[in-house]
Structure formats: C-alpha cells, structure tokens
Structure 1
Amino acid sequence: MSDFPPIPRAPRRQPVFNLPGCVLAIAALLVLVHMVREWVLSAEQDIDVLTLFAFIPVRYHLPEFGFFSETGLGPRLWTPVTYGLLHGDWAHLGINLIWLAAFGTPLGRRFGAVRFALFYAVTAAGGAAAHYITYPEGMVPLIGASGAVSGIMAGAVRFTFAPGGPLSGQSRGGSSAHQPAHTLRQGLGDRRVLMFVILWMGLNLLFGLGLDMPGMEGVQVAWQAHLGGFMAGFLLFGLFDPIPRAAYRP
C-alpha cells in the first residue's frame, strides 16, 4: 500500500464568457449585423438595410412618401423590433453590449432562451412606441438596442432586490436569480428599486435636455425609447416570469 496522499484533481476550468447562452446569442447577432453593415455592404446597400429594418415613424403616416414607397407593409410590422439589431457605430454597440451583459445575465438565467428573446422583442417594441408617440412624423431612423436593454434592466430590477435576489444581501440558498420577484406594489415600495427607477428616469431626462455621453458628443440620444423600453420591461415582467410569486406581506 502506498502512503502517498491521492493526487488532487485540477480545478475545473472556468468558461471565458460566463454568460447565459441566450445573452451570448443576442450579443453575437448584434455584432454580426454590425460587422456585415460595416465591412460587407456598400453605402447604398446599407441605406436599403436602414430603410427596411430601422424604425421610421413617418412611415406610418406617409407610406408613399419618398424612399418609403418601395417598402410596403412589411417594414411597418417588423421595424418596431428589428431597429434593436442595428447600431450607429462600434461605440454605440459596445455600450449596449456592456449593459446587456450586466443586466441580461441574471434575467437570461431566470427566463431561459425563449422567454428572454420574446422579452427582448416586446421591450424593443415598447421603446419604439414611446419614440413614435413623441415623434409621430419623425423621418430620422431610430436604431439601437437601448430600448430593449432598458427593458431588460427594468426586468432585472424586479427581482434582483427582492428577498433572496442577487442584490438583496439575503441568501436563501439555491440560485439567487430564481428567487420570487417583487410584485409591482412591493417593487415600488422598496426604496432601492424606487431610487433606481428615479435615477434612471432622471438620467434619460438629462439626455433629453442635451446631456452628451462620453465619446458620443453630438449624437442624438433617443431617450424616449429608453423610457418606453424600461416601462415595458418593468410593467410586463410578470407576464414572462416563470418563478411563482411569494405571498405578499406589507
């Protein structure tokens, strides 16, 4: 018999990207779309992409106006979602990817791929709706994942501060991303949630007053789409959440 202790097993190698597959898939799609637009398409072809897939409010009022005349009904149906796959430049894309990774990770683990993708689409549409309400005859194409990312942020806020959630400071065992979420009443009654919502709303109102983000000076920020996506995510979270609610105790 050997007196030597058993050789310890090497620790498991940690994955390079510790993100849910649904978040990685959407991030990869956003990067791929931008790569094709930047490095493959000509300027004329990219204009066609914007015409077909960016959200342009005036399209719903003047469908036969100018270069909108060739697009038909289709873009009026899908552009409230597909605009969230397009970006102005790499900085715009990079900022959205950072926020997507930060807030999409706990939400993706909770929702799973199908619910997460549907939530992304619905909150993107919420952002487009808010933009349309404020600019019903706007001709400037709306692009960017910010509306959907804002909705994902709002969805994460609904459960990350709840008891046992990732930011609650109250461990209950198991995955913190699968603890029961706040109800709307509980969420708005939680000072941390309320402060987060107020700060987010206030920051976007500053964008509306002309505040520039570092590295994006002079870029027009569609702050209404941010607010619309956030409100859609905060209010509609319960329709997508697969985790049963805890009993409410005021």
Structure 2
Amino acid sequence: MDSPPNSPPDGPAVIEEAPREPILTLPAALTAYIILLAAIHLRVLLPPDIENWIIDVFGFIPKRYDSSLLNLDIPGGTGAKVWTFVTYSLLHANLTHLGFNVLWLLPFGSALARRFGTVRFFLFLAVTAAAGALAHLLTHEHAVAPMIGASASVSGAMAAAIRFAFVRGSFLSFSRADADTAAKVPALPLSRALREGRVVAFLAVWFGVNIIFGIGALGIETEGASVAWQAHIGGFFAGLMLFALFDPVPRLRGDAADASSRDISTRI
C-alpha cells in the first residue's frame, strides 16, 4: 500500500535540535586576562624571599618616587618607576583578593572586551591601572607598603561599561539582546548618561561603598593589608572619562540619544 501523498517516508525520524548556548561564555581577551592573573598568582608557591622580591620589583611603592631619600634601596631600580604603574595590577595578596576582582570583572569586563576588542581592552586596563596608581601616589606619597591588585582596572571597566550598560538592548537593560549585540549598543554622551536615574544610582552606591572603605567603617583589612580605595576612584574616573577614546562604536546623537534616554527613564 502506497503512503499518503504528504506522509513522511518510512524509517526513523531525524529530529534537529536547536543549537545550545553555553552556560557561560567569555570573550577570548577576558579569558586570557583571567588566566594571566591566575598564572601570576602561582608566585605564592615560590620561597618567601623570592615572592617578596617579586612584590617589591613589580608592586607599586609610592616611596620609590621620593627624591628626598637618596639612600632608598628598593629593588627594581629606575625601570620599576615606570612598569610598576601597570604591573602592580597583575599581583594579588591571596585567592580571596584575586577571586573578588575576577568576580566583579566578569559581567563588566566581558561586555567591555566584546565592545573594545583585544588590543583596546588590554590597553584600557593598563591605562586605568596607571590612573589608579597615580591617585594612590598623590594620596600616599611617603608610603613604603607596596600596592597590588587589579581593583583600579576593574573599577575602570565598571565605569566604562555603565556608559552603555543601561541603554535599551544592552546587558543591564530590561530588554537585553544577545551578548555580542548587547555589548555593541551605541553609548549615550557622558553629559546625558550622568542625568539618567539608574546611572546616577549606580554611581552613588559605588562611591558610597568606597567612602565607607575609606573611613574604615568596613573592617576588611587582612594580613596587614588595607583597601587602596583612592586607587579605585582613580581607575573609575579614568574609565568614565576616557571611555570615548577607546570606544569603536559611534555615539548616539540628537534625537536618537533623546529616544534612548526616554526608554531608560520609562523602565526605571
């Protein structure tokens, strides 16, 4: 008996499955950065004298720049006065310190790496690290203790990301697109972004937490180390103000910016 005209042929049916999205996808640049931080942290397995030498040579020490101390003996020499503005950000005190920075970097750094691309992303991290070191130097000019940690770069990434994070379709909006599209939405001009409720609220909470750190209301000092909150603020300001220099996505202008602004406002 022949099959009906529109019936499927005899034999097992083949069911095509929809492609599955990975549970967690990270851009290659961010993945490489996290692996780099983890690999460098393996220095804790070295003998203490070698580990201390690494921190002295690559950590940021404000006293290194004190010209009044002619007999100051800090490893690294003149070169360390240059490279430590960035290299300090690749060192961490312990796994908790490293994990905390990576945790905050995952959402903001992921969006930024997708938006900037590898070269811009790494250059941006270096610039915000240097800005954090400069802020620390200006407020701790006689400090001997090394400053280490990626917090200034993480703060810079957070600041840069909020320039577009709340725009419709971006990763913190209520109508988010896929990760790549969400990272490429046009950013609002800085002057307009600073008038948006959710951006202002984010800034208030972020600065409030850092001020609390600064006055010591949150006791998070461990192993003789304290939070370099001035470096956080330096990196944050650099990320907020220098974002446009790195951003390859054209800005929203005129009526488009107004429309996007109204969209954000109606969704608060």
Task: Write out per-residue CA displacement over residues 155-174 of structure 1, whole angstroms, 9 at most, x where no aligned residue.
Answer: 11111112332223246898
Over 3 Å counting, the alpha-carbon distance change for 1:144 and 1:172 in structure 2 is closer
Pairing 1:135-214 to 2, within 5 Å after superposition:
135-170=140-175, 175-212=181-218
Indicate the structure (1 or 2) with the bigger Cα radius of gyration. Answer: 2
The TM-score with structure 2 as length reference comes to: 0.85
Q: 2:36 aligns with which of 29, 39, 45?
A: 29
In the alignment, structure 1 residue 47 sits paired with structure 2 residue 20: no
In the alignment, structure 1 residue 71 sits paired with structure 2 residue 44: no
Higher mean alpha-carbon deviation, 159-168 vs 84-93, is at 159-168
Higher mean alpha-carbon deviation, 18-27 vs 2-11, is at 2-11
- Distance in 1, matches of 2:58 and 2:223, equals 25
What residue number does 1:95 align with?
A: 100
Over 3 Å counting, the alpha-carbon distance change for 1:113 and 1:147 in structure 2 is same
* Alpha-carbon distance, 1:143 to partner: 0.2
What residue number does 1:7 align with?
A: 14
User: Structure 2 unaligned runs (5+)?
Assistant: 1-7, 259-268
What residue number does 2:125 align with?
A: 120
Higher mean alpha-carbon deviation, 211-220 vs 200-209, is at 211-220
Higher mean alpha-carbon deviation, 6-15 vs 177-186, is at 6-15
Matched positions, count:
247
- Alpha-carbon contact 2:165-2:172 (below 8 Å) kept: yes
Q: What do you get for the CA RMSD once the two structures are aligned?
A: 2.3
The TM-score with structure 1 as length reference comes to: 0.90
Over 3 Å counting, the alpha-carbon distance change for 1:17 and 1:126 in structure 2 is same
Task: Write out per-residue CA displacement over residues 57-113 of structure 1, whole angstroms, 9 at most, x where no aligned residue.
Answer: 110114754431x42211111101110000011100010010111211111111111
- Alpha-carbon contact 1:55-1:79 (below 8 Å) kept: yes
User: Structure 1 unaligned runs (5+)?
Assistant: none
Over 3 Å counting, the alpha-carbon distance change for 1:50 and 1:114 in structure 2 is same
- Alpha-carbon contact 2:112-2:121 (below 8 Å) kept: yes
What residue number does 1:107 align with?
A: 112
- Alpha-carbon contact 1:212-1:219 (below 8 Å) kept: no
- Distance in 2, matches of 1:8 and 1:223, equals 56
Task: Write out per-residue CA displacement over residues 204-243 of structure 1, whole angstroms, 9 at most, x where no aligned residue.
Answer: 0100111336695974111001111100000000000000
Over 3 Å counting, the alpha-carbon distance change for 1:71 and 1:104 in structure 2 is same
1:160 is paired with a residue whose SS is: coil
What residue number does 2:44 align with?
A: 38
Q: Percent identity?
A: 44
- Distance in 2, matches of 1:30 and 1:85, equals 6
2:149 is aligned with what amino acid? Answer: G
1:191 is aligned with what amino acid? Answer: G
What residue number does 2:233 align with?
A: 227
